[in-house]
Amino acid sequence: MKTFYIDYPQKKIEEHQYAYRWAECKIPTTVIFGLLENHAQDCEYRAQQRKWMQLEAHLKPHRAHFDESHINEVN
């Protein structure tokens, strides 16, 4: 799971020299601050990243599987 999410399209806020916002929902990047939960509730990017997080969690191997004793496997 990523800590910060900054790979979304950004647009420069014209009134400010170094300010940017998320291109789709217009929330400033200083408000989002790289956190997924700071995106709008209906943000497509947020929804897509949540799906990836769920898929990642589902595909991770469970540690218990690798801790099993395999002494008796060789005959």
pLDDT per residue as tens digits for the range 37-59: 898 999 898 899 889 888 887 77
Band (17; pLDDT cuts 50, 70, 90): confident
Give the per-residue pLDDT at 67: 54
Band (3; pLDDT cuts 50, 70, 90): confident
Pairwise CA distance, residues 46 & 65, whole Å = 32
Burial (CB < 10 A; 0-12, 13-18, 19+), residue 41, is exposed
Give the per-residue pLDDT at 64: 58
Give the per-residue pLDDT at 62: 59
